[in-house]
Structure 1
Amino acid sequence: MSVGMALDEIFPGGTFPANCPSRVVLDHVTSKWGVLVLVALERRTLRWGELRRAVEGISEKMLAQTLKTFEADGLVVREALPVIPPHVEYSLTPLGAELVTLLRPLLLWTLENAETMLGRPLNRP
């Protein structure tokens, strides 16, 4: 399969099977926080606190859950460094970096069209 394939080539008749594993992956990747966490890690490795500040509004529980899911999915690497106090860093795997290149246009489209769709200006720093 390639990114350029039409969906009807992948799913004959345009039917998206309920038991397709891609649904689980889509749920992980396109969750409210998933896209933001992945894109935050695009340019560099981040510590927990840096990542939490980069994804403003995410709770500790949701950040932990999202990172654990992405680590299990092979999108993020968690590295615990042997120092005191504990120091944990997160970075994208090659698979995660590939995914972010595909998500970036979606995020940019969302930013460009949110004001029109919601009828109110974006909160920008």
Structure 2
Amino acid sequence: MGDVEKVICTKKAKELIAELKRKHGHLMFHQSGGCCDGSSPMCYLMDEFLIGNEDVLLGYIEDCPFYIGKAQYEYWKHTQLIIDVVDGRGGMFSLEGPEGVRFLTRSRIFTEEERKQL
């Protein structure tokens, strides 16, 4: 088994990320845990969102860094985040908002073997 990825994305998410990259340039993601946008994955222009000491780099989706707040990570560290796209309006600060779709985080619990690799 290869390296275990903590964050991956669906084909629909890959397509949307490619479109957003064409329109806006290099992107980054942050898994929100805030009150305003629930727990939506937020998409920003690279360096538009200030990453702090309390943020954890989970990995990359389509060459875009994906961060999560440390407190949120503690709740989800036993799961793989799967970034998907669904119809509807997402977070008001996230770049996909005008597209009529939003990123959505799904998850699955790591297997025992995957946990050992982590």
Query: TM (normalized to structure 2)?
Result: 0.26
The structure with the larger Rg is 1
| Higher RCO (C-alpha under 8 Å, 6+ residues apart) | 2
Larger helix share, 1 or 2: 1
Larger strand share, 1 or 2: 2
